[in-house]
Structure 1
Amino acid sequence: MRKTDLAYRSELNPLIKPQDLAPMIPGMEIACIFNPGVFRFNNKTCLLLRVAERPIQTDGEISTIIRNANGQFEKITFRKSDPDLDAKDPRVIRYKGQDYLTTLSYQRLLFSDDNIHFYEDINYPPIFGEGQLESFGIEDCRVSYIDGKFNLTYSAISPVAVGIGLMQTTDWQHFDRKGLIFPPHNKDCAFFEEKINGTHYALHRPSCHELGGNYIWIAQSPDLVHWGQHKCIALTRPGMWDEARIGAGASPIKTPEGWLVIYHGATYDNRYCLGAMLLDLNDPSVVLSRSIHPIMEPLEPYEKTGFFGEVIFSNGHYLERDTIHLYYGASDEIICYARMSVTEIVNNLKGN
Structure 2
Amino acid sequence: METTSNKKVTIKRKRVKIERDVSRVITRLHIPENIIRIKHIVDRISPLPEEESERLYAEIVHRFSERHRDLENIFLEHYNEILNYTKISKRISDLKKRLIGAYFTMEYSIESAAIFNPSIIKHPNQSNLLDGECRFIMSLRATGEGHISSVVFRSGIIDKSSSVIFDPISEYVSTPHIVHDRFYDSHLFKIKLNEIGAWDNTSKEILKHIPEKFSFQELRNVINSLYSKLSFANKDKTINIMYWIANSNYFKMFNADSNLSERVIFPVSEHEIGGIEDARFVEFCNDSGESTYYATYTAYNGTHILPHLLETTDFLNFNIVTLNGEAAKNKGMALFPRKINGKYAMLSRVDGENNFIMFSDNIHFWNEAIEIQRPKYPWEFIQIGNCGSPIETDEGWLVLTHGVGAVRQYSISAILLDLEDPTKVIKSLKEPLLSPNEAEREGYVPNVVYSCGSMIHGENLFIPYAMSDVTSGIATVNVKDLIDNMEPEPH
Q: Kindly tell me: are residues 329 and 116 of structure 1, through their superposed partners in 2, closer, same or farther at Cα, counting changes over 3 Å?
A: farther
How far has the Cα of 1:160 moved from its partner? Answer: 4.2
The answer on 1:39 being equivalent to 2:121 is: yes
The answer on 1:235 being equivalent to 2:235 is: no
2:402 — aligned with what? 264
1:1-352 mapped onto 2 (5 Å cutoff): 1-2=4-5, 3-4=7-8, 6-10=10-14, 12-13=15-16, 15-19=17-21, 22-24=24-26, 26-28=107-109, 30-41=112-123, 42-43=125-126, 44-54=135-145, 64=146, 103-114=147-158, 115-121=164-170, 122-124=258-260, 125-146=263-284, 147=286, 148-181=291-324, 185-207=329-351, 213-237=352-376, 240-299=378-437, 301-350=438-487
| Partner secondary structure for residue 309 of structure 1 | coil
Deviations 1:260-292 (A, max 9, x none): 111111114111111111111111111112221
Q: CA RMSD in A?
A: 2.1
Deviations 1:122-165 (A, max 9, x none): 34421012212211111111111112210011111123422211
Q: Kindly tell me: are residues 108 and 119 of structure 1, through their superposed partners in 2, closer, same or farther at Cα, counting changes over 3 Å?
A: farther
| Partner secondary structure for residue 399 of structure 2 | strand
Distance in 1, Cα, partners of 2:148 & 2:405 = 26
| Gap runs ≥5 in structure 2 | 28-106, 127-134, 159-163, 171-257
Distance in 1, Cα, partners of 2:316 & 2:23 = 20
**Amino acid of the structure 2 residue aligned with 1:225:** H
How far has the Cα of 1:229 moved from its partner? Answer: 3.3
Preserved contact between residue 151 and residue 168 of structure 1 (Cα < 8 Å): yes
Distance in 2, Cα, partners of 1:7 & 1:19 = 28
Distance in 2, Cα, partners of 1:312 & 1:5 = 17
Deviates more, 1:164-173 or 1:254-263: 254-263
Distance in 2, Cα, partners of 1:27 & 1:128 = 11
Q: Kindly tell me: are residues 260 and 351 of structure 1, through their superposed partners in 2, closer, same or farther at Cα, counting changes over 3 Å?
A: same
Q: Which structure is richer in relative contact order (CA contacts within 8 A, separation 6 or more)? A: 1
Structure number with the higher strand fraction is 1
Q: Structure 2 length as normaliser, TM-score?
A: 0.57
Distance in 1, Cα, partners of 2:143 & 2:440 = 18
| Partner secondary structure for residue 380 of structure 2 | coil
Deviations 1:309-352 (A, max 9, x none): 22110112221133111111011111101111211111111366
Preserved contact between residue 22 and residue 112 of structure 2 (Cα < 8 Å): no
Q: Kindly tell me: are residues 123 and 162 of structure 1, through their superposed partners in 2, closer, same or farther at Cα, counting changes over 3 Å?
A: same
Preserved contact between residue 166 and residue 181 of structure 1 (Cα < 8 Å): no
Structure number with the higher helix fraction is 2
How far has the Cα of 1:18 moved from its partner? Answer: 1.2
Distance in 1, Cα, partners of 2:122 & 2:439 = 27
Q: Kindly tell me: are residues 192 and 163 of structure 1, through their superposed partners in 2, closer, same or farther at Cα, counting changes over 3 Å?
A: same
Q: Structure 1 length as normaliser, TM-score?
A: 0.78
1:82 — aligned with what? none
Say which one has the larger Rg.
Answer: 2
How far has the Cα of 1:256 moved from its partner? Answer: 2.7
How far has the Cα of 1:118 moved from its partner? Answer: 4.0
Distance in 2, Cα, partners of 1:144 & 1:205 = 18
| Partner secondary structure for residue 304 of structure 1 | coil
Report how many aligned residue pairs link the two structures.
296
| Gap runs ≥5 in structure 1 | 55-63, 65-102, 208-212
| Partner secondary structure for residue 481 of structure 2 | helix
Distance in 1, Cα, partners of 2:342 & 2:421 = 12
Deviations 1:52-108 (A, max 9, x none): 001xxxxxxxxx3xxxxxxxxxxxxxxxxxxxxxxxxxxxxxxxxxxxxxx000011
Distance in 2, Cα, partners of 1:180 & 1:4 = 40
Preserved contact between residue 273 and residue 297 of structure 1 (Cα < 8 Å): yes
% identical equivalent positions? 28
Preserved contact between residue 233 and residue 286 of structure 1 (Cα < 8 Å): yes
Distance in 1, Cα, partners of 2:475 & 2:167 = 15
| Partner secondary structure for residue 228 of structure 1 | coil
Distance in 2, Cα, partners of 1:5 & 1:24 = 43
**Amino acid of the structure 1 residue aligned with 2:117:** N
Preserved contact between residue 5 and residue 296 of structure 1 (Cα < 8 Å): no
Preserved contact between residue 18 and residue 30 of structure 1 (Cα < 8 Å): yes
Preserved contact between residue 344 and residue 360 of structure 2 (Cα < 8 Å): yes
